[in-house]
Structure 1
């Protein structure tokens, strides 16, 4: 069946209006609340309901993902819930807002207990804050449902589904409950911050100025031997792995974060153990090649293709150019990339001795050009790097499309062991 698009309007959100995206369907039934305050919300619903069958249908609707985006404002939870008809039903849950006197008692109680403020910042609702004589959590009969469906049950299955999904919101963030009771998160945190600072200032004034220990300036400036510094801690054997970064709508790419965090850890470990930054002198292009080459594996997976496309666009290159450069980097690091991109005229010596060595190994006469020696058939090549090593390259016959192969070697014959050399011309 065709389901209408969401009727939520998150663009209208403000300090006192929050819209939460719909929960995905759950293949297996699970508890809707794992925290004590989330369970208190569920109890307020279930202890009031007169028909357990409606509650069971509501749980089924919630598990099936029939509840659209949920909007929370002071005293009201609103969502559209799909039922048996094509048009969804408009469902509301009302909860009494706290009076100014109730809020005053609650804020004073929180200021008197820094542990309660710390718990709120960790998205937890401490028992001590909810037990201060202020009706923060709903009790039986406090939740007032209203639905546009013809069912007169209180609650109907659509309202029950919304109530169960709201328990999941409260589970993750108790500030949703505080918003329902009338105050937004930013306003509460600002108020608690101001009152905590004022309370600390009053306590300091009441204690009076503390006697400050002093020392004569002549003694402080007198020359004296300093104790030796403690021995540094041993360096870890390897860089630590970064934590797993969750994906969030509109947030940073978790794959990119993992890539950058892993690279930063490796650079920090190298700097700690060697005293130098291994990539401090690289150009932007060279650093992009290094980052792409650090991605494990040889196949271009979807994630690797995305990484190559992003890095190539950042340095105004194509993904194919980046892939070839990565092969050169994996062959010989920065020196291997230089061999790929730079040709030069080597002095007499090692380059001149290479051709007789190749002939002695029953290989044909390679054609020289600058620091290149190319097989006469044209699909195997050696390049002499400025580091004195030979780098093997291979291309399809009849094409000038050279790709690095194998590992560099001081011996030109050994460098060709990974390249398929034809037996004869």
Structure 2
């Protein structure tokens, strides 16, 4: 019997698949309505990394035009490198590439640990989405200066129009499949999915072993009532979780609702459900729409200073027909004293004689200047105290000569204590 020789058998064998090399056919020309070449946040971040270090905006514009007209041939992606032939003004195309550093083992460990820490992260990755939290932990996306262009054309621009065209077209690949980005950073999709599956299974086994067994009732006993047999008592109720659950990650989509608003609503729903489960009452059911808007804004960090919180304040204020300044002042009152603090800000009232009348001589005895009384207010040039219906004094500040009072400090049953806290004395 004749056996095939080694070399001949090797030539007839199926080629081995390379998990760290992917080739993509030429991307069809496409012009987005807004002029962008990517719709995902990571695709646009890829483009921004190149544009941030470009020395010539005219070359970028020509590169974008080349990409839009389909001058970029098939693209090959390997760890740390994106390569394609790009057609220019000459008959022969130029070999163009974009190089970047790959993630080290420590970076991939952080990525995998963060990805498997939350089931919604794994679900997002399987759905070809990249949660922002993974980028924040690992730095997957290139920063300005991380992308290094190279081309066989004679142009020494940084980048040349051919490299810019390749970068724009690569952004479309990232839009379709973020695992292309992971391959650029050093690891292929099969390798990553296998490791995510392994770690997720190990994490699930640990959690299952640590969880107490679920109390059950045998089916034959549960249906015994039909035959006149008494039912056993129900198993004990499950304990209330220590804290509300975390909502899923909502991917940004230009055609979907604001992801920040969705995340905020989901977080609120989880917190209210947890409070209702633990106490039997809804903590915000009695609030008016305005009070609830103030509460929502007060729970969000940033006080209207960051871009996301400015958008939140704007939208909430618009929804209740107020201005963002009105909302910011109300948030300061809510953080000072909750619903009671907001009432002090918005509802002057006539307190009974007693604590209010004793406050002025007490302040004078503590070497504070004289305060002018009006209803439940005691006002100076830049400082003010307001007596709440809860018996606490609330501090306020304003610039001299202006009636623009803002809540400051912590409420106190003693007016001197409230001013002392306000002044940090």
* TM-score, normalised with respect to structure 2: 0.51
Which residue of structure 2 aligns with residue 353 of structure 1?
358
Match of 1:364 among 343, 366, 369: 369
SS at match of 2:416: helix
CA apart distance, 1:221: 9.6
Which residue of structure 2 aligns with residue 235 of structure 1?
240
Instruction: Confirm or deny: 8 A CA contact 1:328 1:337 kept in the other structure.
Output: yes
CA distance in 1 between partners of 2:376 and 2:174 (Å): 71
CA apart distance, 1:349: 2.0
Which residue of structure 2 aligns with residue 150 of structure 1?
none
1:391 counterpart = 2:410: no
Matches within 5 A, 1:325-364: 325-364=330-369
Aligned-residue CA RMSD in angstroms?
Answer: 4.7
Which residue of structure 1 aligns with residue 87 of structure 2?
83
User: Structure 1's 272 and 85: CA in aligned 2 closer, same or farther, altered over 3 A?
Assistant: farther
* Uncovered stretches (5+) of structure 1, i.e. residues with no partner: 1-5, 12-19, 29-54, 67-80, 90-121, 125-157, 173-212
CA apart distance, 1:372: 0.7
Instruction: Confirm or deny: 8 A CA contact 2:73 2:86 kept in the other structure.
Output: no
SS at match of 1:419: helix
Instruction: Confirm or deny: 8 A CA contact 1:373 1:382 kept in the other structure.
Output: yes
Matches within 5 A, 1:217-236: 220=226, 226-236=231-241
Which residue of structure 2 aligns with residue 100 of structure 1?
none
Which residue of structure 1 aligns with residue 379 of structure 2?
374
1:282 counterpart = 2:282: no
Q: Any idea what the Cα deviations from partners look like across 1:33-59, whole Å, max 9, x if unmatched?
A: xxxxxxxxxxxxxxxxxxxxxx99742
CA distance in 2 between partners of 1:310 and 1:321 (Å): 13
Select between 381-390 and 289-298 the one with higher mean Cα deviation: 289-298
CA distance in 2 between partners of 1:282 and 1:268 (Å): 16
CA apart distance, 1:225: 5.6
User: Structure 1's 248 and 414: CA in aligned 2 closer, same or farther, altered over 3 A?
Assistant: same
CA apart distance, 1:399: 0.4
Instruction: Confirm or deny: 8 A CA contact 1:339 1:383 kept in the other structure.
Output: yes
CA apart distance, 1:242: 2.3
Which residue of structure 1 aligns with residue 405 of structure 2?
402
CA apart distance, 1:298: 4.3
CA distance in 2 between partners of 1:314 and 1:360 (Å): 47
CA distance in 1 between partners of 2:87 and 2:289 (Å): 56
Q: Any idea what the Cα deviations from partners look like across 1:304-341, whole Å, max 9, x if unmatched?
A: 10110010111111000000000000000000000000
SS at match of 2:411: strand
1:415 counterpart = 2:418: yes
* Uncovered stretches (5+) of structure 2, i.e. residues with no partner: 1-27, 50-71, 94-125, 129-164, 180-218
Which residue of structure 2 aligns with residue 197 of structure 1?
none
CA distance in 2 between partners of 1:341 and 1:334 (Å): 11
Instruction: Confirm or deny: 8 A CA contact 2:303 2:309 kept in the other structure.
Output: no
Match of 2:76 among 54, 59, 74: 59
CA distance in 2 between partners of 1:297 and 1:123 (Å): 31
Matches within 5 A, 1:10-159: 58-59=75-76, 83-85=87-89
CA distance in 2 between partners of 1:171 and 1:398 (Å): 58
Select between 328-337 and 296-305 the one with higher mean Cα deviation: 296-305
Which residue of structure 2 aligns with residue 134 of structure 1?
none
Instruction: Confirm or deny: 8 A CA contact 1:26 1:65 kept in the other structure.
Output: no
Select between 352-361 and 366-375 the one with higher mean Cα deviation: 352-361
CA apart distance, 1:353: 2.0
SS at match of 1:59: strand
User: Structure 1's 168 and 396: CA in aligned 2 closer, same or farther, altered over 3 A?
Assistant: closer
CA distance in 2 between partners of 1:308 and 1:280 (Å): 21
Q: Any idea what the Cα deviations from partners look like across 1:155-200, whole Å, max 9, x if unmatched?
A: xxx9xx999x88995899xxxxxxxxxxxxxxxxxxxxxxxxxxxx
User: Structure 1's 361 and 27: CA in aligned 2 closer, same or farther, altered over 3 A?
Assistant: closer
CA apart distance, 1:85: 4.7
Equivalent residue pairs, number = 259
Select between 343-352 and 285-294 the one with higher mean Cα deviation: 343-352
CA distance in 2 between partners of 1:271 and 1:64 (Å): 53
CA apart distance, 1:82: 6.7
